[in-house]
Amino acid sequence: MDPQEYEKFRRDVFAAIWRDLDPLEAEIEDNESMPMDRLMPMLRDMGALGLLVPARYGGSGLTIEQYLPIIAEFAKVQGGIRVLVHVHNSFAHALSEIGSPEQCAAILPGTVTGQTSVAFALTEPDHGTGADLGTTATRDGGVYVLAGKKWLITNSDIASHFIVFARTSPTEVSALVVERDRPGLSIEPLPETMGCKGGEHGVLTFDGVRVPAANLIGAEGEGQAHLERALEISRVFIAASSLGTAQRALDLSLEHARRRVTFGKPIAARQAVQRYLAEMATDVYALRHMLLDAARKWDAGQRIPLEASLVKLFGLEAVGRVTDRALLVHGGIGYTRRTPIERLYRDARLNWLEEGPPTIQYLVAARELVGGYEWADAFAGGRHG
């Protein structure tokens, strides 16, 4: 989207987030479910469902740099809505990059209006992710037959299509598009989560699910490469979500510190509290600039496996520290329900797990570093600068 058009679009989306979605927060937190009949039309009307879908499929075709402030703004308002919007956009984007023109033409235009939605089905109850997967897809003539179980699959209530990772041979993982109405696929919800309330994260059981061979994404055995590409940029989206949560926690802490008077002075005048605020702002500022760097590199066509893992890692640690300090600045009242800090604190903890926990980020980052990663960055100096 051209910069002028984008500025207007971004302002309109921000206004709609606060006007339409903020009033839903208490209802979602209390009921631990989202009013989907009202929410989805709101998201569609504000243009939040096709943010990363290329314009040729009817979406807004935002760059990553344009998208990040928008997903961050959702995180400020209510974590469950942020997760829904994140998964819906992130995996439509992934399909636009790894899917065939036929798969994209069939699925992506519907994502813009909410008629279709793409979810990502990788995690399993009885196996580790990637090379350890237990779900199998066995070729039988013109179809693949899927058997196995996935869990924690976000948007399992609204997804029309799942990108499913399954083993097509003992050594190969492949990715397939599976429609939700395929016979043999059953979907059960998991219990409600600690934070990011209202989302549905289901258990998918594949019991001899037959899908046409045309549903394979790319070629057999390309699944590991597809999941690495999809998760690489999605980690940046999670870090932007961490930034939104952290920024809101900082803003609320500043307001509270100016307002709360003890021993005749606002607590904002106390050096101990000022230190918390300065440390929170340092994390927010650093995260913002790591995100911009990662986004600009991706938008310029570079792969960023190291930057993506580092920004995801820094983001989850930063939002952890910022929400810890925000609770301290708020004092006891911040620990009660109905204060936004209590919700932000819980929402932030999901960022630890999304698109891989810290150990996975350490593993990816160390693999890239030890392998002689080219930073493509003047600060790296010497032979790269």
Ligand X SMILES: Cc1cc2nc3c(=O)[nH]c(=O)nc-3n(C[C@H](O)[C@H](O)[C@H](O)COP(=O)(O)OP(=O)(O)OC[C@H]3O[C@@H](n4cnc5c(N)ncnc54)[C@H](O)[C@@H]3O)c2cc1C
Residues with catalytic function: 355
Helical (H) or strand (E) element with 284: helix 271-299
Nearest Cα residue to 294 out of 243, 246, 239, 248: 239
Residue closer to ligand X (CB basis): 369 or 376: 369
Least distance to ligand X, CB of residue 9, Å: 27
Could you tell me how far CA 168 lies from the centroid of its own chain? 27
- Least CB distance from residue 16 to ligand X, whole Å? 25
Nearer residue to ligand X within complex by CB, 65 or 179: 179
201-212 and 143-154: which strand pairing? antiparallel
In sequence order, what are the beta bridge partners of 166?
174
Residue placing its CB nearer to ligand X in the complex, 1 or 187 = 187
Alpha carbon of 160 to those of 34, 157, 288: distances in Å?
Answer: 18, 9, 34
The DSSP letter of residue 252 is: H
Secondary structure class of 331 (helix, strand, coil) = helix
Q: Which is nearer to ligand X, 80 or 334 (CB)?
A: 80
List, in sequence order, every residue forming a beta bridge with 176; answer none if it has no partner.
164, 216
Could you tell me the smallest distance in angstroms from the CB atom of residue 202 to ligand X? 9
Closest distance to ligand X from the beta carbon of 227 (Å): 9
- Output phi, psi for 23, to 5 deg: -65, -15
Q: For residue 64, with 0-12 CB atoms within 10 Å meaning exposed, 13-18 middle and 19 or more buried, which class applies?
A: buried
Nearest distance from C-beta of residue 351 to ligand X, angstroms: 10
Nearest Cα neighbor of 158 from 135, 127, 180 is 180
Distance CA 146, CA 138 (A): 7
Query: Residue 131 to residues 123, 139, 173: CA-CA distances in angstroms?
Result: 12, 19, 7
Which residue ranges make up the site for ligand X (CB under 6 A)?
87, 119-123, 128, 152-154, 193, 201, 350, 353-354, 356-357, 359
In a 3-state reduction of DSSP, which class is residue 249? helix
Q: How far is the CB of 163 from ligand X (least distance, A)?
A: 9
Q: 281 vs 353, which CB is nearer to ligand X?
A: 353
Rounded distance between C-alpha atoms, residue 212 and residue 219, angstroms: 14
Residue 160 contacts residue 129 (beta carbons within 8 Å): no
Looking at the Cβ atoms of 153 and 239, the one nearer to ligand X is 153
Q: CB 217 → ligand X: shortest distance, Å?
A: 15
Q: Which is nearer to ligand X, 63 or 129 (CB)?
A: 129
